[in-house]
């Protein structure tokens, strides 16, 4: 990775933190001593930072340079079919919001048979094409209950973040998605009706939820990815 790529990943990470409400331009200005206009120009790609300035921002946000590196678990010299056989297990927040998975965000690794994901089809919007494709998350009891018995408590669920389309993956079978709902990850069957996402549980004892995308959001922006694999027992 070169300096320009690290520069861009720092910008995207700061924007992600601002979007989540854990950071603001004024707070970052106080932390670093930079002017707000200077930081705004950087965040809006109107200027670049020097290496020293990047160091100051990293220190202020308690980040290391390694946090700007996408996790890469391929061993040197392995064939390409091994690339998607080891998947990072991450928090729900990371799965929803982080385009690339920082090493510090990885909780553990999910090891899959080589070639299992080799023929998995993608259907991704343009703004997601650069995201790291596969992540896995653990589903706690309260999140699993609406999808029982399809998803059981403490299941590990593999998400394909390059499939945020509502088109059926297999004809006649509903896709199961990870969806962003009030900054939380929900596993649901999804329809789009009357400009609202309709989130349907498998367990009919739980309610159907409706989400209206924001003014600048498409339905795919609220979909973290298609559930490609469910491991109910490890």
Task: Quote the pLDDT of residue 80.
Answer: 43
Q: What is the mean pLDDT of residues 197-211?
A: 95
Task: List Cβ neighbours of 96 (8 Å cut-off, separation of 6 or more).
Answer: 178, 180, 183, 185, 224
Q: Which domains does the chain have, with CATH numbers?
A: 3-68 (1.10.260.40), 80-231 (2.10.109.10)
Structure-block tokens of residue 22: 């854990």
Which of 50-59, 68-77, 212-221 has the weakest average pLDDT? 68-77
Assign 234 a pLDDT band (cuts: 50, 70, 90). Answer: low
Assign 150 a pLDDT band (cuts: 50, 70, 90). Answer: very high
Averaged pLDDT of the chain = 87
In percent, the amount of the chain with pLDDT more than 70 equals 92
More confidently predicted of 138 and 99:
138
Q: What is the mean pLDDT of residues 160-170?
A: 94
Most confident of 4-13, 78-87, 203-212: 203-212
pLDDT digits (tens, 9 = 90+) for 14-35: 887 887 778 899 999 999 999 9
How far apart (Å, rounded) are the C-alpha atoms in residues 108 and 117?
Answer: 19
How far apart (Å, rounded) are the C-alpha atoms in residues 190 and 140?
Answer: 20
Task: Quote the pLDDT of residue 82.
Answer: 46
pTM (2 decimals)? 0.70
Task: Quote the pLDDT of residue 72.
Answer: 46
- In 3D, which of 102, 98, 90, 156 has the Cα closest to residue 128? 98
CB 113 within 8 A of CB 82: no
């Amino acid at each position: 990775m070169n300096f320009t790529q690290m520069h861009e990943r720092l910008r995207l990470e700061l924007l992600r933190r601002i979007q989540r409400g854990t950071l603001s331009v004024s707070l970052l200005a106080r932390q670093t001593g930079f002017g707000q206009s200077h930081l705004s120009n950087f965040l809006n790609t109107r200027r670049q930072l020097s290496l020293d300035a990047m160091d100051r921002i990293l220190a202020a946000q308690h980040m290391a340079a390694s946090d700007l590196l996408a996790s890469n678990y391929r061993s040197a010299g392995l064939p390409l079919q091994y690339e998607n056989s080891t998947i990072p297990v991450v928090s729900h927040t990371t799965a929803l919001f982080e385009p690339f998975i920082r090493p510090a965000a990885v909780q553990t690794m999910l090891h899959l048979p080589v070639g299992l994901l080799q023929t998995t089809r993608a259907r991704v919007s343009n703004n997601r094409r650069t995201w790291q494709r596969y992540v896995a998350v653990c589903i706690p009891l309260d999140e699993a209950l609406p999808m029982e018995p399809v998803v059981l408590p403490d299941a590990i669920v593999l998400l394909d973040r390059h499939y945020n389309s509502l088109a059926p993956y297999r004809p006649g079978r509903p896709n199961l998605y990870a969806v962003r709902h009030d900054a939380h990850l929900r596993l649901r069957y999804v329809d789009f009706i009357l400009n609202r996402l309709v989130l349907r549980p498998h367990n009919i004892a739980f309610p159907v939820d409706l989400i209206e995308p924001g003014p600048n959001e498409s339905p795919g922006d609220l979909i973290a990815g298609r559930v490609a694999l469910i491991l109910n027992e490890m």
